[in-house]
Structure 1
Amino acid sequence: MSALLPGVKARERWRGLWLTLALLPVALLWLSPLYLMGVFATQPDAAILSADTPLLPGGELFANIGRIVAIATFDRALLNSVLVALAYALLSAALSSLAGYAFARYRFRGRGLLFGLLVATLTVPYAVVIIPQYVLVARDLSLANTLVAVIVPPLFNALGVLFMRQTFLGLPAEIVDAARMDGAGEFRIFFSVALPLVRPSLAALLIILFLASWNNYLWPLLVAPQPSARTAPVALGSLLTVNSVPPWGALMAGASLMTLPMVALFVFLQRHFVSGITAGAVK
């Protein structure tokens, strides 16, 4: 048996090598638009629009960043996006965790009905609710062009609640019962016992919510179009008009500034993301 192990390991190494070589063209195909975006961010508009597409970086990166800051107040928009995404991810994850824990651990009247309504909200297209939501926020509450209007209305996330419910269902009931027998209150059990045990899933949910808010375009465009409150995607979109040629170098510089933090976030937290998604899927 021990004599067979080296052969098995060698076959596994060769299999992994061939799989890597087979997937390499797919990876290059996926990365090529990101590479061209980075290259165009360092080029003047004339080079980008020329017949000979530049494939190597140029020297106009800081000039393009200065242009997008001057044209679209992109520095303020980028700061707004960071504030909105952080606040949304933290608050929505907290609400999703509380609701998911309640559905997983408590038995109360109407629990099945509420859970059915929660699942039913997933079938409602966003286009159906966005106009009433806008009327409520902008006209009735007078919150247009504020960060509160961008953050608060989308806070409830049905998928987040379902994800955390599945995660809490996987916790051993004996741990919660033991804490309750020791005299711990419900909030202490939740914050001191349950949440630390589902840390990978909570980290994965935070990453997903942060990315969703960071890339959100339609709702911030409707409720906060003014330069003082608009987010980075809205600021980038404002450069695309039908009456003039967009400043492509500045546009690519802004898109690169938006992309780099997300790539870095996923690279550094991918272990938590993968383990959290796997843990939340087991039940």
Structure 2
Amino acid sequence: MAPRRAWLTHVLLILGVIAFALPIWIVLIGSTHDAATIGRGEVPLLPGGHALENYRTAWGAGAAATAGIGVGSMLWNSMLMAVLVAVGKITISFASAYAVVFFRFPGRMLAFWSIFITLMLPVEVRIFPTFKVVSDLGLVNTYAGLIIPLIASATATLLFRQFFMTIPDEFVEAAKMDGAGPLRFLWDVVLPLSRTNMAALFVILFVYGWNQYLWPLLVTTTADVETVVIGMVKMIGSEANTEWHIVMATCVLSLLPPVAVVVLMQRWFVKGLTETEK
């Protein structure tokens, strides 16, 4: 009975991998064919001979719908946004959680629950008031307007708070006996213990920032600060005018940075999610 169950499990896993990987494979292969092949509605499963040409065009000139703006500029905007959003969220959440856990001040829990309750507000409820503020400050079509409204995170604050609460009180007492102040305790004790958690959060928040669509769609109206996600949507116009070979090449290029971050930080990511010892 056990071997049959193992066989069935492996079959289901293989089918799941195929279902997940097949669309990515089709996009990868489609990016190596010319416009005529894709335009005929064919779905090739083997590489073509136009890969270098398609990727060069996508990187430099882009599609006609992007008015000559290449993917390289969009990828830079997405990279800058994703990195700064991730770093900003981690920095602000780390500081706010540290204050809530290790300081005693009036309204401490009220401050925490005020942060936590924002999780109950859907993005759609907050996005137009946020856009109004950004517009009044003159931050539309700027990196600041693209990034700053996204750098506060109630979820990251909650995760850091829960982690800080597992730090033994003996560490705090020992730091006080050694004459360490709040900043010294933060730098020498809390920060080293939090590195793996910060790495895991960075991966999650980087992918979150990279995949943002609704907010960049509202706050960017020029190509100077346009992200690659918005660029891909613009490339897909009417069915007859869409340059699918360029769109697919752009999709592949847009996959590379988040995949690289996940692969390079995989060990830290897993360790940050599973490590519990202090």
TM-score clears 0.5? yes
What is aligned with 1:261? 257
Residues 1:124 and 1:62: Cα distance change in structure 2 (over 3 Å): same
Residue 258 to residue 126, structure 1, CA distance change in 2 (3 Å): same
> Alpha-carbon deviations, 1:170-227, whole Å to 9, x = none?
2112112212221122112112210111211110111111111111011111112211
The match for 1:134 is: 131
Structure 2 gap ranges (5+):
none
Distance 2:101 2:35 in 1: 55
Give yes or no for the alignment of 1:124 onto 2:142: no
Instruction: Find out whether 1:94 has 2:91 as its counterpart.
Output: yes
Post-superposition shift, 1:164?
A: 0.9
Alignment partner, residue 213 of structure 1: 209
Find 1:39's aligned residue among 7, 29, 39.
29
Contact 1:225 1:234 in 2 (8 A): no
- State the alpha-carbon separation in 1 of the partners of residues 17 and 219 from structure 2: 37
Alpha-carbon distance in 1 for matches of 2:217, 2:106: 40
Structure-1 separation of matches of 2:250 and 2:19: 22
Q: Bigger shift: 239-248 or 85-94?
A: 239-248
CA distance in 2, matches of 1:174, 1:15: 49
1:78 paired residue among 63, 75, 78: 75
Instruction: Give the gaps of 5 or more residues in structure 1.
Output: 1-10
1:20/1:107 CA distance change after superposition, 3 Å: farther
Task: Tell me how far apart the structure 2 counterparts of residues 232 and 40 of structure 1 sit (CA, whole Å).
Answer: 19
Q: Distance in 1 between matches of 2:197 and 2:21?
A: 28
Partner of 1:224: 220
2:250 aligned with 1:250, yes or no?
no
Q: Is the 8 A contact 2:206 2:258 kept in 1?
A: no
Check the 8 A contact 2:26/2:43 in 1, yes or no: no
Give, as a single letter, the amino acid of the residue that structure 2 aligns with 1:156: A
> RMSD across aligned C-alpha pairs, in angstroms?
2.2
Over 3 Å counting, the alpha-carbon distance change for 1:103 and 1:224 in structure 2 is: same
Q: Which amino acid aligns with 2:145?
A: A
* Percent identical: 35
- Secondary structure of the residue aligned to 1:152 is helix
Distance 2:215 2:21 in 1: 29
Match of residue 273 from structure 1 = 269
Which runs of structure 2 are paired with 1:44-193 in the superposition (5 Å)? 44-68=34-58, 69-70=60-61, 71=63, 72=66, 73=69, 74-138=71-135, 140-193=136-189
Hey, what's the Cα distance between the residues in 1 that align with 2:219 and 2:194?
35
Letter in 2 for 1:129: R
> Any idea what SS the aligned residue of 1:53 has?
coil
Q: Give the deviation of 1:279 after TM superposition.
A: 4.1
* Counterpart residue type for residue 35 of structure 2: D
SS in 2 for 1:156: coil
CA contact (8 A) 2:30 2:43 kept: no
Q: Match for 1:110: what amino acid?
A: G
